[in-house]
Amino acid sequence: MAEKFRMKKIIVAVGSTRMPKLNAVSEALQAIEPLFSPAVEFQILGREVPSGVSHTPSSRAELMLGARQRTQALSRLAVESGEIWDYLVGLEGGLDLIVDGGLRRVFLESWAYVTDGATGHYGRSGSLEIPEVLAAEVLEKGIELSEAIDRFAGEQGIRNLQGAWGVLTLNRIDRQSAFRVAVLAAFAPFYNAGMYGDLSAANG
């Protein structure tokens, strides 16, 4: 009797236990799984870890730092627990602001950082300009975005559902789909390694 075919499990640890984030990673991995190997199966683990940045990051640099520091916290957790994880994923959502023609414009962004322990790469969703009144609540009054969007929309627990993305786009883009794009982008150097290797060689 032939030995039963066994799938290779790739364990992906995510620095969050919030369902929109975990579902975003799951959807992204389903899309790229065939690009690794037909014999590969991803397993996702959610672990709540600190980002080391403010509750609502207010710049691109802070968003990127928060995402990366979540993977660093995951790495320490893996060592402490004696577990081996193939990929670590850090996700961070928040704001980025620019001055355009003398006007402040504030954008909602979702960032991902993915590392295999040797190299790491960033990915970002698109940007969504938010209303100035909402931006002021967060940037001037120091109110957490999740709390501000609940008040703004007259609902509760929005960040665990559609997020500010969903509220502001009438659910044409929700929090989960924004993070999904960021994760797909951050994983690109891993599932399209040939292209990234060629570019590195060309620029070397």
Q: Pick the closest to residue 76 from 142, 15, 32 (CA basis).
A: 15
- pLDDT tens-digit readout, 52-99: 999 999 999 999 999 999 999 999 999 999 999 999 999 999 999 999
Long-range Cβ pairs for the range 159-163 (8 Å, 24+): 159/18, 159/20, 160/18, 160/19, 160/20, 161/20, 163/20, 163/93
Q: What is the mean pLDDT of the chain?
A: 92
Query: What type of residue is 21?
Result: K
| H/E segment holding residue 148 | helix 145-153
Residues 6 or more apart whose CB falls under 8 angstroms from that of 178 comprise: 24, 93, 110, 125, 126, 163, 165
Residue 119: its pLDDT value, please?
95
Q: Give 10-residue mean pLDDT values along the chain (204 residues).
A: 65 97 97 86 96 96 98 97 97 96 97 96 97 95 94 90 95 97 97 78 44
Residue 58: its pLDDT value, please?
96
144: exposed, middle or buried (Cβ count in 10 Å: 0-12, 13-18, 19+): middle
DSSP three-state, residue 156: coil
List of domains in the chain: 9-191 (3.90.950.10)
Alpha helices in 6-119 (DSSP H): 19-36, 60-81
CB 93 within 8 A of CB 182: no
Residue 40: its pLDDT value, please?
83
Residue 7: its pLDDT value, please?
75
Report the alpha-carbon distance of residue 151 to residue 136 in Å, rounded.
13
